[in-house]
Amino acid sequence: MERSIGFYTRFLNLKLLNRREIPQNNAEIAFLQDSEGKGAMLELTFYKDQKRFVQAEYEDRVFDHIAFEVKDMEKAISLMRNEGVTITDEPFRLSPHGSLIAFIEDPDGTLIELIERK
């Protein structure tokens, strides 16, 4: 949980809003939101009895990715690269005047799309 909270607060500028134990299923949850408090909340769940987490191979995933907007793609990717974050797709555009996008993975292998809008 610490690793994931650190990742989302450091690299995606989310703020930890709330964190608590759920004794009924021996879990802990944390809620994060953008630092301005305007976007959707992200809920992280850690099941303490779970021995390991295995992310399915890309072709076998039912859930594809989540996305976050970044203000400066070059700066974000540079910081992540220097910190050893897995960058699966370097920044690119789908059209000449479209948004700049890139894909990274969080510490648990969840695919994240970064979007820099024009």
Which positions are catalytic?
113
DSSP secondary structure string, 9-71?
Answer: HHHS-EEEEEEEEEGGGTEEEEEEEETTS-S--EEEEEETT-----PPPGGG-SS--EEEE-S
d(CA 82, CA 71): 18
